[in-house]
């Protein structure tokens, strides 16, 4: 974790923390704020477009996100523009969990149950990326 409070470390600091700790993966979780298309909805996952491992991680996480949340699949997308994807030494993805500017997405995003689904989906996707078996409870 690069933060557990509303204190905002710079993007550079976030990458530095991940790199210094030799993290296995870097996951950045976001919500789209405003879309040109006011009806925009759904989840998209970004990776640095020359990173095969980043693309594989993004795909594994996206499969779980869409399966568990049943959200609109906006796709897995490569980019060279996102700082945290460009400046981390490990496979890195940025997950956009929905649009705060769209009423239906916003209602989901503020629901604690939906937030838990998002977290579980991301964790399950990471497990799949590493070919791990899910941890059994109790």
pLDDT in tens, 22-54: 999 999 999 998 767 778 999 999 999 999 999
Cβ neighbors of 111 (< 8 A, separation 6 or more) are none
Determine the pLDDT at residue 133: 62
Check: CB of residue 125 under 8 Å from CB of residue 98.
no
Determine the pLDDT at residue 134: 61
Q: Which fold has domain 11-129?
A: Aminopeptidase (3.40.630)
pTM of structure: 0.90
Round to whole Å and give the CA distance between 68 and 88.
28
Strand pairing of 92-99 and 43-48?
A: antiparallel
Which is more confidently placed, 130 or 134?
A: 130
For 116, counting Cβ atoms within 10 Å of its Cβ (0-12 exposed, 13-18 middle, 19+ buried), the class is exposed
pLDDT (tens digit per residue) in 71-120: 999 999 999 999 999 999 999 999 999 999 999 999 999 999 999 999 99
Instruction: Report the length, in residues, of the chain.
Output: 138
Domain range list for the chain: 11-129
Round to whole Å and give the CA distance between 4 and 39.
32
Determine the pLDDT at residue 137: 62
């Amino acid at each position: 974790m690069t933060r557990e409070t509303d204190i905002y470390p710079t993007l550079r600091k976030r990458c530095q923390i991940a790199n210094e700790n030799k993290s296995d993966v870097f996951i950045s979780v976001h919500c789209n704020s405003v879309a040109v298309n006011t009806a925009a909805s759904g989840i998209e996952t970004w990776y640095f477009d020359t990173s095969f491992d980043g693309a594989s991680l993004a795909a594994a996480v996206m499969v779980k996100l869409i399966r568990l949340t049943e959200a609109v699949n906006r796709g897995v997308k490569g980019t060279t523009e996102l700082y945290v994807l460009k400046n981390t030494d490990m496979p890195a993805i940025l997950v956009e969990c929905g649009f705060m500017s769209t009423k239906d997405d916003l209602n989901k995003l503020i629901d604690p149950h939906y937030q838990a689904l998002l977290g579980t989906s991301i964790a399950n996707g990471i497990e799949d990326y590493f070919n791990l078996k899910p941890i059994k409870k109790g």
